Structure formats: structure tokens, C-alpha cells
Structure 1
């Protein structure tokens, strides 16, 4: 895959310096470029991320959860939209490895589906 999208690098820097309870960065895999590109980022309500999930894309996110004591937990999230074709699905594990290396060390991994309540699903971490 190609070099890291500068927007992803900037968003990751903001995430790592944020003081919000929850922050996130979302990337999309682009099949033709075989690369990961910035899709969205945010702070606060992690359910916001679902607004940016594209049913026709493979996407990865880093979500940083901060508890009341200030301790953080980084969660790597994988999303494969239901409209993603077979050819693109064949590359998901390769992309997941690349995304994980871009996002850095994490405390947990989670796969999500379009109908998941993200807050509820991530509360287990």
C-alpha cells in the first residue's frame, strides 16, 4: 500500500492529544488505489461514527475511550459494508493488517455491523 494519508496522520495526532472522553478516526479502503484514506474524525459521542459508515466500503477506525480517572483504551474497529463485493472482500485481511499498523498499538479489536449500537458494543472494553 502507499504512504499514509496526511489527513489520517493529522487526525491521529489530534486524537492522541484530545482530552475528550471519547475520540475517533475513521479510514476507508479504496480498492482501485489499494490504499487507506481519511473518512472522518470526531470527539464526544462515539455513535457519531455510524453516520460515516459507508455500506459499500471497507472501513477501519481507531476509537480512544477515556475513563473518569483519565486512563485510555484504544480500540481498533473493522467494518465491512454489506454492499462490498467479493473481490474487495478478498483483500480485507491484508487491509486490516495495514490499517492496524497505521493506527498503532491498540488494546482491543472489534468488528461492527451496520445495525450495531456502537456504544453498547464498545462498553465491553
Structure 2
């Protein structure tokens, strides 16, 4: 059984993870992809500091990938919090064997990407739209003072 260090050999991965976690860095997302269709090794494919739509553009329909996102949430400037989402991407045309391997390998990736409020397993870009991710993160935070969806 390969260890996380076996599949996550790219030294840039740890640095990118720290950048996304750091309030001092503008980087707010990263994407990890497999080095090739036959490889189990992951490489840092992209990082960015733009909106989540920029990140989703780097995810192809025929590939598997992992992403990590930092988002700021709050009802006002006094209650703003930073929350993180871990994404397991399986594009709709991802090969069956890759999907099967990912069920095991995602556990190894989580040993490196450890701190997140929600995990999103999807092959649908709609699940990665800013509003959808924000809603998941708000639910994970517990108290939600928005009036949307409530019956007063």
C-alpha cells in the first residue's frame, strides 16, 4: 500500500497547501492532478487567487483531480470567517479504474490536505459554483442568520 508521500511526491504540493491556508497569501485555491493516465502520482496542476470559477475551468470532464479552496464567509465584516473546502473531482467521462482507485487514494490525499470544513465529491461543475460551495460551508458552520430558507 503506497503511503501519501509515494503519491504526493511533488514538493510544490505542500507549499501550495500552506499558501491556500495562509491569510498572508493571495492564493485561495489549488488543483492536484495525476501525472499521467497510468500514474498514481499527483502533481500540483494549478493555483490561483481568483474566483472559484477560475479553478473549475482547470477541471476537465475526462479526468480525476483534487482541489482545495479557501473562502471568506460572514454576515458582516465583524463575523467574517475563513473556511476551507476539499474537492474530489471525477469528471463525467473519468475512466472507471481511476474512479475506483480514487476511493482509496483520496484518503491518502486527506493526510496531506487535512484542514477543511466540507468535502465535496462531484463530477458536476454546478456543485462547485460559488453559491453552492458557500451554502455547504455555511451549513457546516452551524448557525446561519440568513433569512433564506427559514420560516419566521
TM-score scaled by length of structure 2: 0.71
Matches of residues 98-109 of structure 1 in structure 2 within 5 Å?
A: 98-109=108-119
Q: Identify the residue that residue 122 of structure 1 maps to in structure 2.
A: 133
Query: Which ranges in structure 1 are unaligned for 5 or more consecutive residues?
Result: none
**CA deviation after TM superposition for structure 1 residue 112, in Å:** 3.0
* Counterpart Cα distance in 1 of 2:125 and 2:52: 15
Divergent runs of 4+, >6 A: none
Query: Which ranges in structure 2 are unaligned for 5 or more consecutive residues?
Result: 138-152
Aligned-residue RMSD, C-alpha:
2.2
* Aligned partner (choices 33, 40, 50) of residue 56 of structure 2: 50
Q: Identify the residue that residue 42 of structure 2 maps to in structure 1.
A: 36
- The question of whether the paired residues in 2 share the 8 Å contact of 1:22 and 1:65 is answered with no
- Structure with greater contact order relative to length (CA < 8 Å, sep ≥ 6): 1
* Counterpart Cα distance in 1 of 2:93 and 2:125: 14
- Paired residue total: 125
* Aligned partner (choices 63, 74, 86) of residue 69 of structure 2: 63
TM-score scaled by length of structure 1: 0.84
Q: Larger Cα Rg: Structure 1 or Structure 2?
A: 2
**CA deviation after TM superposition for structure 1 residue 22, in Å:** 7.8
